[in-house]
Each structure stands twice: as C-alpha cells, then as structure tokens.
Structure 1
C-alpha cells in the first residue's frame, strides 16, 4: 500500500553537509564532476560507472548519473553494504555511523519539479542495473512494491532486494531547501550536523533514528 505521505531519502557522508549547505544544492554525480567538487564518496565504483553509462529510459536523452538519487526507505540496501565494511569495490570502509539521511516529501518535490520544468523519474529497482524499469508519472507508485521497500530481511530473495532498491531520481540537482528532516544514528553525529546548520539559513529538524540503521544495538549516545 502506498504511504499517505511518501518520503524519500538521500544518504551521504556527514562530511558532505558543509558543501551542500554552501552550494545550496545536492548535485548529481555528473554535476559534481563538472563543478570540480570533491565530496566524501561512499558509493560503489562499478555502480557509478553503470550510472554514467545507462540511460533513464523514460528520458532516454539522459543518463542515471545526471540525477540525484533518493530511496523510498531509510534502511536501504546500500546502507546495509556500507554497514558491513567489507565490500571489495567500495573504497569507503567507515561503516554506517557517519552516514546521514536527508529526507524530503515526495509529492511536494514532484510539484516543485514540475512547476520549474525539472525532469524526474522513478526506477522500480536499482537504477544502476541494466534491467531497471523507469517511469515519469506518480502512477508508478502503484508499481513500487512497498512490502519489499519496508523489508528488513531479504536473505537470498533477489526479487525483494531488487524491489527494495527502487529509487526516485531528479535531474541535475536538488535544492537544500527541499530537505525537511535529517536522520542520524547517534548523538555525536547529530551534534556535528547541528554545528554545520549554524551556517545555514535553512535548518531542517535533526533527529537520532537508530531504527534507520542496521546497528540498532549500538550506543545511540556514542
């Protein structure tokens, strides 16, 4: 069942917040390269290469890397991979504690994008996969497998894992002012985020959300 107010989550390393605040935008990977920015990278290079190569099929003149990605859940497959700290294709091995969730309201984002003639898309699985299906209508929310999006265990079930990795994509950049909340794992990271926000005119709420992470049993006050 579609949530009454679907939220979308962009994950990034906390060290990237000052640049996002200063620029006033979250940039797509393609834009980051063009602008010469050097963020703390947490992604898998193979998937990043796929994103640079694969088209967004509902906007075939564009590539996935030209979009800012959001998940439909905070406890994403990517976050699980980061939490494991053992993936050979990911240079970052710092775990999940320093990863923050930047949260926006999906329907509000779509209204704003359409008002400003910004293209967007929904992928029904990981947008970096060759078999990903893309849609450019909110009717696609009926196709998102929300039971899989909410799943906390998937074992060997590839179908659940694929469906959980569904994404919302917005072309070019996403305005910092569009983020209404930030979720963090522990008090230490929350304090860092609040310190960064002192330099920002826009100040989303910041909350400790251990259930958004895989190491829920860790010390939330660390």
Structure 2
C-alpha cells in the first residue's frame, strides 16, 4: 500500500486518516496510609479536667508523724518524747531535790506555780483508773510541745487550769524538761530492781499511766497497765490530726529522777546561758537546746 491517502495528500500523513491518539491525563491516586498503632488505642484523658485530689488532713504543728491505723500494733512507742513544763525560777530547787516530785509529795509550793488552786484540788480528787491513787500522786508530762495548756500560756489566753502567775509570765521564762517513754520506763524498772533483795518478795513495779485527755477530766480514759498504756500511746500517735495528743498526759508515779531528763529545751541563747549557769552547781548535765518553735504560739507558726 502506498502513502497516498484518499484525500489526495502524498507523502504526508493525513490528519483525517491518521488522527493523533489523545490520551486522558492520569488521575493521581491518593495513597491511604495504614493507621498508626497509637490511633487504635483508647484515647488518653485530657489535661483540662484533672482528677480531683482527696483533701489532706491538717496536721497540728509539733505533733508526731501520724502512724497508719493498720500499723498501729507495730508502732514503737518507746521513742515517744514527753515534756514537763516548769518556770525557770523553779529549776534550781528541782536540781537540788534531784527529782521532779508529784504535786501531792511537795512540801513547799514552787516559786512560780503553774496550776490554779482549783486544778490542784480536782487532781487530788480524781483517781487514776484501775488504781487507788489520785492523779496528784503522779508527775505529769505532755505528749506534745504544743499541748493546749502550754498554748494558753504562750498565747496569754484565759485557761481556768492555770494560776495567775503562769498567765503573767512570758513564754521565754519557761523551760521544757524532756525525756522519752523508754527512758522513764527503764528508770522505774531500775528503781524497782534496786529496792528488791534476795530475801524479799519482788515489788510490783511502779507503772506509768497514759491518758487521752486532761487527767482530771470526767470523760478521760486511762491506760494504767503496761499493755493498756502502750495501746493508748499507739492510738494517740495514729490519730490523723494529732488533736488528742495536745490534751493527753503521761503520768509517772511519785517522782522522776533528774537523770531521766535528757534535754532541757529553751527559747533563746540568753535563756540557755542562764540554764547552764544553774546547772553548774548541779550534778546533772542534760543537754540544753535552743528550740524557738516550742515557745511560739500556733498562730506565729502559721
């Protein structure tokens, strides 16, 4: 076949006989990616609505760290500090006696008496549960350096338990005689052992008592045996807000020898030097430490 087309065009390709092939432009196909693994997971919570936090219990300053109730049975109460408050004017006489005497055993009143006459009378009338002894026959200790009676003195607020002398004294004029439950228990056991000979029937050891409130209060509960005193301490130390610790007392029968006092807490350096001067004439050499928080009101601490 020659190259002549029916339209009379020679040597050329007739556009009518041989039209150009028109190809449609390719439509790009959009590739779909496989979803990421993270998009298959459950959606995470948004930061716009954080989970509500449970309210934290308010802890009283100076109080010991709370112990969980389920661990109360294993709480070592021996480490619990106890505090006896006295005016610095009374310290020299206490050192001469060599003891802190129970109120009922005192032959003369202290130079500065903290307890009001009505308080002394109510403690003579109140009996330690499980015993035939009055509260006045025991030396009282606080279980917290922020006990409510002491707070009343620090804040110069009215408290019927306090004498006018105490109300009229500045907080820095007082000192804290500090020991521990273990130190006192060991000291009482040593006194009992020294009082017993091979020919004698062993004496029943003197026992400390622990209260959950003012020892002269009508609703106050006592732990007056080794087991009940320990349980009472565990309960007090396990309390979340420490409120009962501010009212509680540890009671030591008759007298506490000064060698069981391991620390004297004071307000400032000037008082420390005064106390050290008083101690020079004494055989007892407890540590004297400046610790201002013990002598400031709770309002000041906040």
Whole-Å separation in 1 of the counterparts to 2:118 and 2:273: 33
Cα separation, partners in 2 of 1:30 and 1:39, compared to 1, 3 Å: farther
Mapped partners of 1:4, 1:30: distance in 2: 27
Post-superposition shift, 1:62? 0.4
**Kept after mapping to 2: 8 A contact 1:52/1:64:** yes
Please provide the CA RMSD for this pair.
Answer: 2.2
Is this contact kept in 2: 1:84–1:95, CA < 8 A?
no
> Which one has more relative contact order, counting CA pairs under 8 Å at least 6 apart?
1
> Which whole-Å CA distance do the structure 1 matches of 2:110 and 2:234 have between them?
37
Shift, 1:47, TM fit: 2.4
Q: Does 1:71 align with 2:137?
A: no
**Counterparts in 2 of 1:86 and 1:20: CA distance versus 1, 3 Å:** same
Structure 1, unaligned runs of 5 or more: 152-159
- 1:62: which partner in 2? 133
**Inter-partner Cα distance in structure 1 for 2:238 and 2:145:** 13
Equivalent residue runs for 1:85-104 within 5 Å: 85-87=156-158, 89=160, 90-92=163-165, 93-104=168-179
The alignment partner of 1:108 has SS state of helix
**Quick check: 1:144 aligned with 2:236?**
yes
> How far has the Cα of 1:188 moved from its partner?
2.0
What is the CA-CA distance between 1:41 and the residue it aligns to? 0.5
In structure 2, the residue matched to 1:18 is: 92
Larger of the two Rg values belongs to structure: 2
Q: How many residues align?
A: 205
Secondary structure at the counterpart of residue 144 of structure 1: helix
> Compared with structure 1, are the counterparts of its residues 23 and 189 closer, same or farther at alpha carbon in structure 2 (3 Å cutoff)?
same
Q: CA deviation at 1:106?
A: 0.8
1:109 equivalent in structure 2: 184
- Larger strand fraction of residues: 1
- Tell me the CA shift for residue 85 of structure 1: 2.3
TM-score normalised by length of structure 2? 0.63
| 2:287 maps to which of 198, 205, 209 | 205
The match for 1:125 is 213
The answer on whether the counterparts of 1:48 and 1:128 sit within 8 Å (CA) in structure 2 is: no
Tell me if structure 2 keeps the 8 A contact 1:64–1:127: yes
Whether the 8 Å contact between 1:67 and 1:173 is mirrored in structure 2 is: yes
User: Any unmatched runs of 5+ in structure 2?
Assistant: 1-66, 68-74, 193-204
Moved beyond 4 Å, runs of 4+: 145-148, 215-218
* 1:210–1:216 contact (8 Å) kept in structure 2: no
In structure 2, what is the Cα distance between the partners aligned to 1:24 and 1:105? 18
